[in-house]
Amino acid sequence: MSQKHKRVITFLFFLYLVIVLRITVFRSTFTLQQLCQNGKINLTLFEEYIVLLRQESYFSFSYLFFGNIVWFIPFGMYLQYMGKNKTLFHAAVCGFLFSLLIETLQFVFGTGFSELDDLILNMFGAWVGAALIVLYFSLRHT
C-alpha cells in the first residue's frame, strides 16, 4: 500500500472519529458549565431496547440497536486494514475501549446516557468491521 493511500485512509478515519464524537459526545447540548452534573448511567442490559419493543417503536429500536453496531464497523475495518490488529479479538477490545471513552465522556459532559449495552454493541461492530476486512482479503487471495 502506498504512503499516499495510507494517508488518505488515515485522514478519512480521523474524519470518521470526529463525526462519531460529534454525534455521541459533543452534541448541541454540550457545555463545560454542566460538567459532571447531568450524566446518567444505565447498567441494565438492553433495558431501553425492551421498552422500545414493548411500545412497538420498531424504527427507534432498529436505529439504536443496529446504529450502535454500524457506527463501529469502520473502526474495526481501519484497524484491521492498516495492520493495527493481529486478531479479531484485538479489534473487539479496541472497539470496547473507544466505546468506553465515549460513554465516559457522555457521562462527564452530560450529553447522553452511558449504557452497558452500547459498549457491547459497539464492541461487536468493531469486531464485524475487522472480520469484513479479513473476509475480503481471504476471498481476494483465493
What pTM did the predictor assign? 0.89
**Which residue in the block uniquely carries the three cell numbers 475495518?**
77
What's the pLDDT at 63? 94
Are 87 and 81 contacting, i.e. CB atoms less than 8 angstroms apart?
no
> How far apart (Å, rounded) are the C-alpha atoms in residues 96 and 89?
10
CA distances from residue 27 to 23, 39, 121, 137 in whole angstroms, order as listed: 6, 14, 21, 37
Domain ranges across the chain: 3-140
> How far apart (Å, rounded) are the C-alpha atoms in residues 138 and 142?
7
In order along its 142 residues, the chain shows pLDDT tens digits of 788 999 999 999 999 999 999 999 888 776 777 677 777 888 899 999 999 999 999 999 999 999 999 999 999 999 999 987 679 999 999 999 999 999 999 988 888 789 999 999 999 999 999 999 999 988 887 6
CA 65 to chain centre: 12
Which residues make beta-bridge pairs with 40?
Answer: 113
Q: Which residues lie closer than 8 Å to 111 by C-beta, 6 or more apart?
A: 24, 25, 26, 27, 29, 30, 105
- The angle formed by the CA atoms of residues 135, 137 and 122, to the nearest 5 degrees, is 45
What's the pLDDT at 141? 76
What's the pLDDT at 91? 95
